Amino acid sequence: MRTYLSPIGYDTRRVTRPVVNTGLGGDDRVYLLRPDQESDTERATQAVADTKQLLQEIEPQAECRVKYVSIDSFDATIQDCCKTLSNIAHERTTIVSLGGGARDILLPLTVAASVFAETIDTTLFFSDLDSTLTEWTLPRFGAQIPPRTTETFGLICEYRNWISLSEITDQLDQSKSTVIRHVNDLEEAGLVESDTTEKMKKVRVTLGGELLQLTRNQN
């Protein structure tokens, strides 16, 4: 069971392509975000109708509805987007599509999606430059460095690319068990990610980790 969340403007491809590429089942829901105030209501209504028709042809049982978002202020729009995300049932796969609709909604939705990054399964982006569809990993806002991991986190940030646990152990002169605990704590905080495809586990800093380190360096 999937729930798609996407702003919709006048280019329906920006909504339909992510859905078509990912798949649409009978239990799926598609929420189209529109501003609660707009000037060209005729074009907006037609875009919504065209989108609903196409999705109906793909899967008649799927639900598609419009959710109107307040654009009274930047704060209000973020809050409305956050409420929409928080109301999605946890057992459903949440897919957020960024790349369509009014910027008045798109930017606040991006902020809201970063706040709810832990509960969002997939974030897709439709490019203005070449119309490609790519998956994005959003940074987790509000993450904190676990106190005992500061030195380990600093070394991983310096590398920027993949670094093995053995390299961390050697450079920090710490036991392997200590490094493993540190890395596990940092992974749980969303600050590093790991690669276990090879025999030796490797880690690297996430975007959220990089941004947090940048703010620390400014202080």
- Helix axis angle, 176-188 relative to 165-172, nearest 10°? 120
Query: What's the sign of the alpha-carbon dihedral 69, 75, 76, 79?
Result: positive
- Quote the CA–CA distance of 210 and 204 in Å, as a whole number: 10
**pLDDT, tens digit only, all 219 positions of the chain:** 999 999 998 889 999 999 999 999 999 999 999 998 877 788 888 999 999 999 999 999 999 999 999 999 999 999 999 999 988 888 899 999 998 888 899 999 999 998 888 889 999 998 888 888 999 988 877 778 998 999 999 999 998 789 999 999 999 988 999 999 999 999 998 899 999 888 889 999 988 888 888 877 655
Domains identified in the chain and CATH numbers: 2-136 (3.40.50.11700), 147-218 (1.10.10.10)
Furthest CA-CA distance within the chain:
67
Element (H, E) at 93: strand 93-98
